[in-house]
Amino acid sequence: MASQKSVSANVSAENLLLVQYRYWMTGHATRKVCYWDRAWDILSRALNPEQAKSLFTDLHVFTRLVRDQAARELAWHPQPCRCPCHDESLMLALIRASQHGEEFIETLAASELLGTHRVDELVRASRSTARCLQSCGLTLGNAQSAAVETPSPRQTLH
């Protein structure tokens, strides 16, 4: 029987997703498994085992597609930082749009993130990750509140 552990009340969907994205992207860039181990450790403490496995798998696919399909150099913060960089904000906007069924914003965020208009595969992966997050009880805020929090490419909030 699976554990009934649910998401801790102090874990926000945005923060969990941002930390996961950073560990996954750093793991892909360095080819060091320790970053994926850290990602797993965080998920396994925040979610029940089935949820953690499902989200871990979805994030693997999503981040691999981002890395492999990007037509430009991507940026992310490898160390803990409260402020998302522009590319991290685009990733959050993409998955947020997928959760809220905002197809135009999905395509726009995916295109800007990848630097190409060939985004169908990434949008499908984003929708899968969005559904998985929701099944774990994690919903990203709506796009209107996110617009206030999303920094412009030149804006630094440290």
The tens digit of pLDDT for each residue in 82-117 reads 789 999 999 999 999 999 999 999 999 999 999 999
Give the 3-state DSSP-derived string for the chain, with helices as H, strands as E and coil as C.
Answer: CCCCCCCCCCCCHHHHHHHHHHHHHHHHHHCCHHHHHHHHHHHHHHCCHHHHHHHHHHHHHHHHHHHHHCCCCCCCCCCCCCCCCHHHHHHHHHHHHHHCCCHHHHHHHHHHHHCCCCCHHHHHHHHHHHHHHHHCCCCCCCHHHHHHHCCCCCCCCC
* Per-residue pLDDT tens over the stretch 120-138: 999 999 999 999 999 999 9
Contact by Cβ (8 Å): 7, 46: yes
Q: How far is CA 128 from CA 10, 56, 64, 69, 79, in A?
A: 24, 12, 14, 17, 26
Mean pLDDT of the region 43-62: 96
Q: How far is CA 100 from CA 12, 143, 153, in A?
A: 17, 8, 24
Is the dihedral angle over the CA atoms 91, 94, 96, 99 positive or is it negative?
A: negative
Q: Is 157's pLDDT higher than 90? A: no
Q: Where do we find the tokens 């994690």? A: 138
Look up residue 51 and give its amino acid: Q
Predicted TM-score (pTM) of this structure? 0.83
Number of neighbours of residue 61 by Cβ within 10 angstroms: 15
Question: Which pLDDT belongs to residue 91?
Answer: 98
Q: Is 69's pLDDT higher than 70? A: yes
